[in-house]
Structure 1
C-alpha cells in the first residue's frame, strides 16, 4: 500500500506518546495526520464515492481517534471534505473547470514568484533546499504520501523565499484544492523520475540566478497538474 510507510511513521509517533509525550508532540501528531489525509485526498487514495470513518482511519494508522477527528475538522475548513455527523466524512468532488482555474491561478502566482526568489533568496537559502529534494527522490521510489508531503513543502518553502506571507497562504490554499489522481499510477510505473528531474533543474536555475529560465520551468512544471499528474495525456 502506498501509504504504509506514512502510517508506520504515525505508529512510531504513537509509541513515543506512551513515554510522556508533551503537548507540542501531540500537536505534531495532529499535523502529521492532516498532512497524510490531505495527501490521500489529493492523490485519490480516499475515494469521493464513499463515507470514510474516523475510527477506521485511526485503526489503520495505529493511533487514537482524537488526532484523526481533529485533523478532519482542520481539513473541513479548507473545503476538501464534507463531515457527516456520526458517520465520518466524504471527499467533495471537484469539476475539471475548477482544476483548470486552480492551475491557471497557480501559474499566475508561482511562476512569476520565481523571479522574486532569484532576487531575494540567499545562496544559503537555496542550497538548503537540496536535502529536501534528496528526501523527495527517495520517497518517489516507494512512498506516495511522503512524496506528496515533501513536494508541498518544497513549493511552500520556495514561496516563503519571496518574503510575501500572503502569497504563501494563497499558494498553500490552492495546492490543497488540487487533485493529482495520476500520481499513484506514475509511482507504480516508476515514472516519477521525470518529475524529480524537473525539481532539480528548477533549483539549479534558481541557484544560477537565471530568472527567465526559472519562471519558464515553473510554468511548465505546473502544467502537469492538468496533464500526467491528473491522469491525462499532455
Structure 2
C-alpha cells in the first residue's frame, strides 16, 4: 500500500485528527481504493505513531462511512455506488451553483486576496501532483466561498455533501492536463465572482461539480449529461 496520504506525522496537537484527515484524503481521491483492507499496526508503522491515535482515527472514519470494521482483520474502505454519487451530485447542483450566483452579486473584495492564495495553492498542488495539497486547498477554498453567504445551514450541508463525495479517478489524474484544467477553474470562478458575473459563476460551478461524475470518477466528460 503506497499513497501520498500516508506519511510520518509532523508535530500536531491531535495525532488522531491528522491521521483521519490524511486517510480521508486518500479515500476521497481513490489512492486508497474501495475494498482495500487497512490495519491499525500497519498504518501506525507508516505514520510513525502508536496504535492508539490510528485506532481513534479509524473509528472516526467508520462513523463517517469511509471505512467499515472487518472482524479480526482491520477496516475496509467502503465504496459509494454510482447511484448514490449521482444523488449527491444532484443535491450539490441544487445548492452550490445558485449559491455562487448570489455571492457574485455582493462579493466582498476584502476577501479576494485570501481566496486568490487558496486558488493558487490548488493550481500548485495540481501542477506538482500533490493530491493532499490539492484536496485540502480545494476544500478550504469552496468552504470559504460558501461561508461568505452567512448561511450556516448551507455551509454545513455543503461540507457534509463534499465529505461524502468520492473522486476515485483523481489519483490517476496526477500531473495530467485534466487535473490542471480542473484546478484552473478555481481561478476562473474567483474572476467571475470578483467581476460580479452571476451567470458565469453559477454556470462554472455547475460545470465544476459535474467533474465528479466525469474526470474525477475516471470517466470521459462526454459521458456526463
C-alpha contact 2:33 2:168 (8 A) present in aligned 1: no
Task: Output aligned runs, 1:105-184, within 5 Å.
Answer: 105-140=91-126, 141-184=128-171
Count of residue pairs the alignment pairs up: 219
Displacement, 1:180? 0.9
C-alpha contact 2:29 2:171 (8 A) present in aligned 1: yes
Match of 1:218 in 2: 205
C-alpha contact 1:120 1:162 (8 A) present in aligned 2: no
CA separation in 1, counterparts of 2:87 and 2:197?
Answer: 28
Structure 2 unmatched runs, 5+: none
Displacement, 1:167? 1.1
- Identify the match of residue 47 of structure 1 among 19, 33, 47: 33
CA separation in 2, counterparts of 1:30 and 1:158?
Answer: 28
What's the Cα RMSD here? 1.9
CA separation in 1, counterparts of 2:193 and 2:147?
Answer: 14
CA separation in 2, counterparts of 1:2 and 1:86?
Answer: 24
CA separation in 2, counterparts of 1:233 and 1:165?
Answer: 35
Residue-by-residue CA offset, 1:85-119 (whole Å, 9 max, x unaligned): 55321112221111111111111111111023224
- Give the match's secondary structure for 2:150: coil
C-alpha contact 2:43 2:54 (8 A) present in aligned 1: yes
Displacement, 1:233? 0.8
Displacement, 1:40? 0.8
Task: Output aligned runs, 1:1-234, within 5 Å.
Answer: 2-3=3-4, 7-8=7-8, 10=9, 12-13=10-11, 25-27=12-14, 29-140=15-126, 141-234=128-221
Structure 1 unmatched runs, 5+: 14-24
C-alpha contact 2:167 2:217 (8 A) present in aligned 1: yes
- Give the match's secondary structure for 2:32: coil
Residue-by-residue CA offset, 1:115-157 (whole Å, 9 max, x unaligned): 2322454111233111112222222122112211221111111
* TM-score, normalised via structure 2 length: 0.89
CA separation in 1, counterparts of 2:94 and 2:147?
Answer: 16
Measured at CA, do residues 124 and 65 of structure 1 come closer, stay the same or move farther in structure 2, by a change above 3 Å?
A: farther
Residue-by-residue CA offset, 1:173-221 (whole Å, 9 max, x unaligned): 1111111121111114354210111111001111111111101110011
C-alpha contact 2:168 2:217 (8 A) present in aligned 1: yes
Displacement, 1:161? 1.0
